[in-house]
Structure 1
Amino acid sequence: MAIIVNEEKGIFALETQNSLYQMQIGKFGHLFHMYYGEKMVPQDLSYLLFDGQANFTPYPYESNNRSDSLDFLPQEYPTSGTGDLRSVALDIENEDGTHVVDLRFKTFELMSGKYRLESLPSFFAKADEKVETLKIILFDKISNIEVELYYGVFEDRDVITRASRITNLGTASITIRKAQSLTLDFHTGQFDLIHFHGKWTMERQFERLPIRHSTHSFGSNHGVSSNRQNPGFIIADKNTTETSGACYGFNLVYSGNFTATAEQSSLELSRITLGLGDSTFSWRLVTGEAFGTPEAILSYSSQGFERISQNFHDVIRQNLSRSKFTNTSRPVLINNWEATYFDFTGEKLLDIAQSATEIGVDLLVMDDGWFANRFDDNRSLGDWYVNEEKLGMPLKDFVHKINDLGLKFGLWIEPEMVSEESELYRAHPEWALNFPHRKPLMGRNQLVLDMSKPEVIEYLFDCLTSIFDQANIEYVKWDMNRPITDWFSKDLVNGRQGELQHRYILGLYDLLERLTSRYPNVCFERCASGGARFDLGMLYYQPQIWTSDNTDAINRLKIQYGMSFFYPISSMGAHVAVSPSHSNGRITTLKTRALTAAVGTFGYELDLTKMTNDEKAEALDYTKAYKAYQKLIFSGDYYRLENPFDTECSSWQIVSKDKSESLLTFVATNVTGYPPAFYLKAKGLDKSALYLVEGQEYYGSVLMNIGIKLPKLTGVYPSVQYYIKKSKRAGKKQL
């Protein structure tokens, strides 16, 4: 069993293949977190609880022992008003204005399979998997507030999911000011925090900081999970590396505002929290109403960061992303954005499509500028009808022409936005988010539709289905190009404005659920000014996300490195763009651009009609190679070999689950004169097996302990890739 309960001692133990998570009910009914880490035999760990002097700290009234202060004890779901002065999981404002909720254990329930959440994306269990659910119910008998804590234990995946549900069973209304999905306390620990900061065109930048006697708080108040931070983060022992040491990974299945904290208390206890919300979040609950938090996921590794990453990659691919395309082949595409921007016609796109057939491309994506009067980014968002004059024909006829060339067709949309200069805004200005009596803040000359309004969702659903039903559309790129700032909706009254941020996301999820269910054969890609909404909530509905608007291959090395800690390679949109780069003017070889873009879904984003015949022939080779390796890239175990933040190179490897084949890539970001020999050590291979590398045989142990001797690399950002395949020759190779 994955869940073990000792009712007599009040112990709950959650076991995965390599980890143990343990809780225990305290003497006054508080639920304490006792342990999370390396798997061991569950036993009574109450000896770990603090029992020293706790002068000048608050403690429960019923106790005559000052060491019972909750400020010094590891709590499973800490709350406001109980004497815990650290970051709490739940802050409730009662009708009398007090902020207190004192939760004590009430009961528990064991369930086979995985719990599901209402109106929110969450991980799911397959029929043949060993997954169990524990529900623990806590209760405040004064305010009659009940909290259900849910734990989903994916035993073979080495992950645990958590969520909570708060119900007001009292006679008075309450207001939730903070409701986190995850809190984790450690009795001791000198940890580092690894988080992934960034900005537009430089997302997921790796940063490692010591957790000291202060609170590290990060998150997003942009209305999206954001390009500046990401809900995925790690805490690790000081000596943890890619391949050794203890570490814990956390992430949130949510696409809006979030908050995460990491702190060390005065007695060296460490605490992390993760959940939705920002400083303006609130949610009012009248009698009988309930509120559910988004799902958090956590995983422990005693073998360094790469094992954490592989755990997340596997569970996302197998137990989160529902698209039929998640674990199947996907088309190599050409997107016209950097080729033409808004300046295109149907004829120009057909020329690009014709050139695309010469380099093995499977699909053309028509980006922004195909609808209404959309000739720049100042107008027409919200007016979702085809500009047939610009295309020179109806959309159905245009798509037929693309299909006749042997290509599939995809379309760009940005449904959450509206332009002031649009028919929609003139008809429904009240549908745009805006503070009363004020001019709105602008972002990319556009406003944001109030996705909490059912009528907005209905309008968008009707518009988009009308377009999708017109032609053979097999791919949709869903964009979102500004942060959300003007948080006000006329529909939310009586102190409910703080609910808008979450209601927006619920409306968005509702629209995504309806569209992806109606069009299961359409491959949806997420984009938000690049990677500003790269999160687990989006991957539930869409199998891939545009990683960054920065298409420079060398900048992408760091961006994709950071992404790889939590998100599978199959989810990363990556394209071969023009050189010099539109992002920064850098000149890079076609080979390096292609090998870097092959760490993801692979496509092209440049004017193919301007490529020479030699360039097209070279591109065709890269396209063919990617298609041959795509299954391996999408399903294999990913290893980070060289860190681009610490070295003047970047290298990564993908190894099939059965260790029969591997793809190893190296990019030099600085080339020096008279360089020493460089041996690149592989990972993840079968030590005793023979492997073929460019016609030569090597034992797996040799490749992993000594490595492949790289050729002398010269020129501008040179790169090399090796396909490694297990030899058919069995037996011991003689010297």
Structure 2
Amino acid sequence: MPIDFNSATKLITLTTDTTTYQMKVDPYGYLIHLYYGARTSGDMSYLVTYADRSGMCGCPYDVHDRTYSLDVLPQEFPFQGSGDMRSPLLVVRDAEGAFGCDLRYVGHTISNGMFSLPGLPAVYSEEDDEAQSLSVQLRDERLGLEVELLYGVLPHFDVITRALIVTNAGNASVTVERLQSACLDFVHGDLDVMTFNGRHAMERRPDRHRIGHGSFSVGSRRGMSSNQYSPFMIVCDHAATEFNGRAWAMNYVYSGGFEAEVERDQYNQVRVQMGLSDDRFSYPLNPGERLVAPEVIMAYSHEGIGRISNIMHRCIRKRVCRGYWRDRRRPVLVNSWEAMHFNFNGDSLLDLAKTAADLGIELFVMDDGWFAERDNDICSLGDWRVNEKKLGRSLAELADQINDLGLKFGIWVEPEMISEDSDLYRAHPDWVLALPGKAPTLGRDQLVLDLSRADVRDNLFEQLCGILDQAHIEYVKWDYNRCITDAYSRTTTDQGKVLYDYMIGVYDLLERLIKRYPKVLFEGCSAGGGRYDAGMMYYTPQIWTSDNTDADNRLTIQYGSSFGFPLSVMGAHVSACPNEINNRTVPLTTRGHVAMAGGSFGYELDLNELPGRAFDHIRRQISLYHEIENIVCEGELYRLSSPMDDDVCAWENVLEDGSEAIMTAVVLKVEGYAQANYVTLRGLTPGANYRELTTGVVYPANALMDMGMPLPVNTEMYASYLYRFERVEG
């Protein structure tokens, strides 16, 4: 079974197809972390050492043994107040204002299936027999504080998930001042940490460095997971590569503020942890109340960093994403934004849609500017009524006309935001997050609605249903274009709850809409990639990866995104050149190849401004994408070279059975009379032969994976090549 408890030794062992995770209840009731690594058997307690290191390492009052200190021991759930001076997962303050608790094991239960979290997204199982869950109960007798540690094991997905629930079972209030969901304590190791940093329009660039003494953290104080840092982290051997070495990963299933931290202590031990941001967080619990910490997905690989990525891809694609669109082919779309911005009417939209239909595009998306008085970005957010004067027709009539062309129809919304110049704000100025007596901080000339309030969510739900019910709308792009700065709600005196409750409110609103419109394809967006996280993927199975559509920059953005998130969720479009953000020009072929690296392919430009010769090219691009989409979305990804470090950026998609593969390469550096660039493939069937479908040439797999394949020499800057391989049977 995936989860085993040895009653004699009090060992708890979690097992997946290739990994083992082990902890132990020690004689004093503390939960000691023993092992997370390659699958093995036996008792890993031998890895933990005990010694009288100094009088500076404290121990619990009832432990009369100077070789025992939680300041040194690897722990499963470190909390403030135990004598452990490293970074804790939990800090609580009691009704007298004192900090500290003492949590000890009181029991556990094992059940079939994956646990669920009230109000929060989480990894799920489709059948109870494909997963097991573990609940470990800890208790502080003085406070009556109970902590339920939750573990989910999906053996065939090779992931273990962690979350927890804090319950005040005492007679007085307590306040949770810090709450993180998971940690890993390493007793030794020369380790690196990989995080993914960026900014608006340049998200998730890999950053790798050695873990030294002290602590290092990344996170978000922005009320969202952010364009600046991703809630995903990898720790690996210093010598680990894409294809060799040990690696561990944590992926946070949450879309609000977070913190991810690594710390090397005085004895060269390393703690890795992830959870809620401490920023503006102070959550009171009255007797009987509880607080749920979001889930962390954990994975381990002894076959390099690339294997970690494929484990995460498969788990998120199949057991985080859900619903009607999870396994369906996404329609190729054209979005009106970069084509028209706010400057459109119904006739110009239809002109664009007619051209799109002629080219084989399948979905037309009407972006910002279709509602209320919205002709610019400083008004009307919050007033979700159709501007029929601007469109020259009703929304239903426009949708029908676009449907008659053979296209699906979709719209853009930004429900969480409100403009000061809006009817909703004039009627309900108290519905925004704003500090009393302080002029609000504006972002993009807009304020944030207080979605911690049920009445605000109910209003938005009714408005959005009023739009979705009046026309045949099959796609909704859900945007979110500013940070939360003034986290003050008028409905509570406990402002440390607001950011967490806001995110619970967002999830609640999305869940209600998805249940009412199960066949609508919801795409997440937050100034592009500001909420590109596993939490949003639970509700929106595709996300606009970045507002930056330049193919060169997108290579780095999509490369970094691929470390933690599946290609099937990645929204990637071909846009006009020169690019509107950085003025770069890249060939149309290359723009297409780069956009085809994602599972949501489309166009973001005025098709009617293209020269006629581009039309056949686009038709061929769409046809090619239809032929390879299943390999891109369902296959395993191999990052063959880096757009940040190499002359060529190359990647490969291979079906799990090795029968088909695609290798794509983009030239990033050109020199006179240049040497040949060779790309070494991965993941093919050893000993087999593969036919390249365009040329018909047959190559031995072993040679492709050993010496590689040469790209054309003396090529131009940004030239790209896409090779399709099919295994020759017999």
TM-score (normalizing by structure 1): 0.98
Deviation at 1:632, TM superposition (A): 1.4
Q: Secondary structure at the match of 1:142?
A: coil
State the Cα distance separating 1:633 from its structure 2 match.
1.1
Letter in 2 for 1:562: G
1:512 to 510, 513, 534: 510
Distance 2:400 2:389 in 1: 17
Aligned to 1:399: 399
Residue equivalent to 2:633: 634
**Residues 231 and 533 in structure 2, CA contact (< 8 A), matched pair in contact too:** yes
| Deviation at residue 681 of structure 1 after TM alignment | 1.1
In the alignment, the residues of structure 1 paired with residue 489 and residue 727 of structure 2 have an alpha-carbon distance, to the nearest angstrom, of 61
Correspondence for 1:676: 675
The offset of 1:631, in angstroms, is 1.3
Q: Deviations over 1:238-273 (max 9, x none)?
A: 000000000101011101011111000000110011
Q: Structure 1: which amino acid aligns with 2:180? A: Q
Residue in structure 2 matched with residue 643 of structure 1 by the alignment: 642
Q: Residue 728 of structure 2 corresponds to which residue in structure 1?
A: 727
Q: Is the 8 A contact 1:211 1:262 kept in 2?
A: yes
Name the SS for the 2:111 alignment partner.
strand
**Over the residues paired in the alignment, what is the CA RMSD in angstroms?**
1.0
Give the whole-Å Cα distance in 2 for the aligned partners of 1:725 and 1:137. Answer: 52
**By how many angstroms is 1:26 displaced?**
1.6
- What secondary structure sits across from 1:558 in the alignment? helix
What letter matches 1:709 in structure 2? P
**Partner amino acid, structure 2, of 1:68:** Y
Give 1:213 deviation, angstroms. 0.9
CA distance in 1, matches of 2:68, 2:226: 40
Partner SS, residue 66 of structure 1:
coil
- Alignment pair present for 1:559 and 2:560: no
Q: What amino acid does structure 1 have at the position aligned with 2:589?
A: K
Give how far 1:44 is off.
4.7
State the 1:727 CA deviation.
1.7
Deviation, 1:528, is: 0.2
**What is the deviation of 1:678?**
2.1
Q: Quote the offset at 1:61 in angstroms.
A: 1.6
Asked whether the 8 Å contact 1:525–1:545 carries over to 2, the reply is yes
The residue correspondences of 1:473-552 to structure 2 (distance < 5 A) are: 473-493=473-493, 496-552=494-550
2:133/2:153 contact within 8 Å kept: yes
Query: Matches of 1:120 and 1:713 in 2, distance apart?
Result: 53
Q: More deviation in 365-374 or 625-634?
A: 625-634
Letter of the aligned partner of 1:674 in structure 2? Y
1:476 and 1:525 in contact (8 A); partners too: yes
User: Is the Cα–Cα contact under 8 Å of residues 328 and 631 in structure 1 kept in the other structure?
Assistant: no
Q: Distance in 2 between matches of 1:110 and 1:513?
A: 28
User: What secondary structure sits across from 1:68 in the alignment?
Assistant: coil
2:191 corresponds to: 191
SS in 2 for 1:224: coil
Tell me the distance in 1 between the aligned counterparts of 2:31 and 2:75: 6
2:399 is paired with a residue of what secondary structure?
Answer: helix
SS in 2 for 1:508: helix
Q: What one-letter code is carried by the residue in structure 2 that aligns with 1:133? A: S
The letter for the 1-side match of 2:711 is L
Matching of residues 407-426 of structure 1 within 5 Å: 407-426=407-426
Residue correspondence of structure 1 range 328-477 to structure 2 within 5 A: 328-477=328-477
Which one-letter code corresponds to 1:456 in the other structure? V
Q: 1:661 corresponds to which residue?
A: 660
The 1:712/1:129 distance shift into structure 2, 3 A limit, reads farther
Q: Which amino acid in the other structure matches residue 630 of structure 2? A: K
Instruction: Report the equivalent of 2:719.
Output: 718
For residues 47 and 589 of structure 2, the distance between their equivalents in structure 1, rounded to whole angstroms, comes to 60
Partner of 2:575 in structure 1? 577
Q: Deviations over 1:22-55 (max 9, x none)?
A: 1011221111101111111121514523324232
Contact 2:114–2:128 (CA under 8 A) maintained in structure 1: no
Letter in 1 for 2:613: D
Please tell me whether the aligned partners of residues 713 and 719 of structure 1 are also in contact (alpha carbons under 8 angstroms).
no
Q: What is the deviation of 1:646?
A: 1.3
State the one-letter code of the partner of 1:69.
S
Give deviations 1:531-562, integer Å, cap 9, x for gaps: 00000110001110000000000000000000
Q: What's 1:34 paired with?
A: 34
Q: What percent identity do the matched residue pairs reach?
A: 44
168-177 vs 46-55, greater mean Cα deviation: 46-55
In 2, Cα distance between equivalents of 1:445 and 1:589: 36
Q: How does 1:213-362 map to 2 (within 5 A)?
A: 213-362=213-362
How many equivalent residue pairs? 727
How far off is 1:358 after superposition? 2.5
Cα distance per residue 1:273-293 (max 9 Å; x no partner): 111122320111111111111
Shift of 1:682: 0.8
Relative distance call for 1:721 and 1:129 in structure 2 (3 A) is farther
Counterpart amino acid of residue 602 in structure 1? F
- Which structure 2 residues correspond to residues 131-170 of structure 1 after superposition, within 5 A? 131-170=131-170
CA contact (8 A) 2:670 2:716 kept: yes
Partner of 2:611: 612
Deviation of 1:658 after TM superposition, in Å, equals: 1.5
Q: Deviations over 1:296-332 (max 9, x none)?
A: 1100000001110000000111111113212111100
Q: CA deviation at 1:661?
A: 0.6
Does the residue aligned with 1:625 lie in a helix, a strand or coil?
helix
| Residue 733 (structure 1) aligns with | none
Judge conservation of contact 1:10–1:24 (CA < 8 Å) in 2: yes
- The secondary structure found in structure 2 opposite 1:121 is coil
Counterpart contact for 2:35–2:44, Cα < 8 Å: no
The gaps in structure 2 that reach 5 residues or longer are none
Select between 294-303 and 50-59 the one with higher mean Cα deviation. Answer: 50-59
Structure 1 consecutive aligned stretches of length 4 or more whose deviation exceeds 3 Å: none
Q: Tell me the TM-score normalized by structure 2.
A: 0.98
Map 1:695-714 onto structure 2 (within 5 A).
695-714=696-715
Unaligned residue ranges in structure 1 (runs of 5+)? 731-735
